Homo-oligomer: A and B are copies of this chain.
Amino acid sequence: MIFAPVLRLTSFHQETSSGTGVLIMISTTAEMTRARYEIRRHKHLARRHEHTDRLFRIEDGWACQYRLLPDGRRQIIALFLPGDYCEAQWVLTGQANWPIVALTDMFVTEIPFHDIRARHAAHNSQEPDGMKSLLGSIMHTLKSHEKWIVNLGRMSATERICALLHDLVERLRPSGKVVSNHCPMPLTQYDLADIVGISSVHVNRVLQMLRGEGVISLEAGRLALLNPVELRRLGGPAHV
């Protein structure tokens, strides 16, 4: 009785979504009535072990989830881009495990859990393709984590950065922020460093190299992929 519905979600294993924003379909009318908040850069959307009863959907801006070690080392665990839902597993646990901070000024909408429940109850599964699920979102997070474990464990600094830049562009594409391989890139080199697990100084050198090779241009918070093919190649070999 509890598992049966879960098991019916089998069809999500080949989802083509390229973001984590796959939680649930939202009718525009519902969206209109939903509160929209502005969050300034460096403000926290969640703190460690904080309890919550709602999800954030990111309308605009970037955020990240991170862990901080007492000696100052920081590792970013997840990035949240426009269209993404922050930490879909909150619905399951009711608790954020690690802090989430705004990397830019942002606009978010809040979705109370009871809304998600009600909305999901309303949707019967007559729409095999159109509806995405909470579990789909979590599966997506799992896949993303696995990918970054491989990158952090076995890829060089250049490979990691190229893979990240490629990922970012592909994730921004559905939200319409990519125009002819140009898109916003508000991350500082410190942020990039804490995502790919290297020092910010070395991030700088790798970016210089990529610019020198004519692979990318990156200035004034905008990224351009001048040679996407080469970028992909530098991002490391595909997995067997």
Contacts and interface: CB of A to CB of B under 8 A. Distances in A.
* A contact face: mostly helix, strand, loop, or mixed: helix
Give the interface centre of A113, A116, A152 by most chain B CB atoms within 10 Å.
A152
Interface stretch (A54-62, A70-78, A101-109): A70-78
A240 B9 contact: no
A89 B73 CA distance: 32
A93 interface: yes
A203 to B, nearest CB: 13
Interface string A97-127: 1100000000000000100110011011100
A68 B6 contact: no
A: contact size bracket: 35 or more
Count of this chain's copies in the oligomeric assembly: 2
A197 interface: yes
Contact of A239 (B5, B12, B67, B120): B67
A68 to B, nearest CB: 5
A69 interface: yes
Contact of A6 (B6, B154, B197, B239): B6
A97 B7 contact: no
A91 interface: yes
25 contacts: A1-B121, A2-B9, A2-B120, A2-B121, A2-B125, A2-B133, A5-B6, A6-B6, A7-B113, A12-B93, A68-B239, A68-B240, A69-B238, A69-B239, A69-B240, A74-B154, A75-B153, A92-B135, A97-B146, A138-B142, A142-B145, A145-B145, A149-B149, A153-B194, A153-B197
